[in-house]
Amino acid sequence: MKLRLTAMALVAVLSINLHLGPAALAQQQTPVPDAPAPQPPKPLTDVNGPITPGLGAGTEQATPNSSGSSDQPAPSSQAPSAQGKDNFQPTPPEFLNAADTGTKITLNVTYVEVPVTVKDPKGKLVAGLTWRDFKVFENNTREPIRVFNVDAYPLSIAFVVDQSLTSDVMEKVNSSLDAIQGALTPYDEVAVFSYNNGAQNRSGGFTGAQSARVPYVLAMTKSAGSEIESPVNSGPLAGCPIRVNGNCADPTIQPGFSAGSGSGVITIPKEIHTLNDAILAAAKELSSRPKGRRRVIYVISDGKENGSKASYKDVIRYLQTNEIGVYGTLVGSSAGWGEGFISKIHLPFTMYDNILYKYIAATGGQADSERNLNGIEKSYAEIAKEARNQYTLVYASHESVYDSKYRKIDVRVDRPGLEVVAKPGYYPSAQMSR
């Protein structure tokens, strides 16, 4: 019954709409409003004059046109307080670095870096030690270790080759120079110096250790050496051993000439071995190398020193101030066990027969004595390995940063039977320019 009534109501509604027509239906529908029309922007009523970025409005005169009239209204004469504007105009600062201003920024530091080599009784490197195994003393005061590092360091290594060696020893050194590049890694850098009567920079600066330039520079360093001679200035062979018609057969040894004197006694010329000057030249080149690299001077020599302009004391101070270690391969007369020990003894007013060992001991380096070619070649790799793989201890000194006196360092390891090699002291250079 309900479904029948609903159907009848629906039919009645449809019949009414059909009889009304389209016009009546349009009047019954609700009208839809139109979208708002775009409006022009409101004028800036409070602005008088042109607008300049960074300067505001009303601060610039209007530009007159050709007829003498202004295209824009004249700036307002209203007081700034009435306009509500701030008249302060900020000026951009000048961005200058320290070099342009003539100033120098100084940072005072007290950290001291000490590379340490630890060996067992057989001379092998000892690995696996921790910071708890080390004790560092400066001027007999124990210092806390701030940084402990066991990573291998890249090397900035300056090779110094002695060209005043005798010809037989120089021949071995010349043949061994080709093995230098094999002892280094691509991360290392090399400079080459030589000396005889004065130091010479053969490489002109540092270059990559595995670059093609290194063999060429090492080839330039090879020399014939000096001849083995036994000068005599007394006895029947002194003065002029061979005479022709009453005169010396060799005029260079005639009494009164360059090698002789009027008394008939030959004055033996002094040997020249400028080792001090060569080490100082290499140290100056190394002092500019960046932090994070081992600064090493590697000397191949018999250690003789005579005729240098630089003194041993001044060179040592420069090395210890710039954290440079001296390593070396002793050859010739200083390589023999008995001869090498005697050559360390220096008589006053005579030539140093071996001063290289003093440089090595004062900077915490390592030395190797070799007499044959195979030993010399192996020493390059062994010493480079020791210089690269060291324990690095960094401590904060208790001394004043303004004290430039020499400071003693004593590094100890809490394990018996181990040899500890480190620099015995240093001269501080606490001011670092940045």
Beta strands 425-426 and 407-413: pairing type?
A: antiparallel
What average pLDDT does the structure give for the chain? 77
> What does the pLDDT read at residue 429?
76
> What does the pLDDT read at residue 111?
85
On the question of pLDDT at 260 being above 50, the answer is: no
> What does the pLDDT read at residue 250?
65
Q: Nearest-CA neighbor of 112 among 401, 433, 339, 416?
A: 401
Q: What are the pLDDT digits (tens) for 202-255? A: 998 899 999 999 999 999 999 988 876 655 555 555 556 566 666 666 666 555
The distance of Cα 121 from the centroid of its chain, to the nearest Å, equals 34
Q: How far apart are CA 283 and CA 38, in angstroms?
A: 81
Domains of the chain, start order: 113-225+271-433 (3.40.50.410)
Percent of residues, the chain, with pLDDT higher than 70: 62
Q: What are the pLDDT digits (tens) for 329-366? A: 999 878 877 655 556 665 565 566 788 989 999 999 98
| Mean pLDDT on 375-388 | 91
**Strand residues in 19-133 grouped as ranges (E):** 51-52, 56-57, 106-108, 111-119
**Strand residues in 99-231 grouped as ranges (E):** 106-108, 111-119, 134-138, 141-143, 145-149, 155-162, 189-195, 199-201, 207-208
Do residues 379 and 366 make contact, with C-beta atoms less than 8 angstroms apart? no
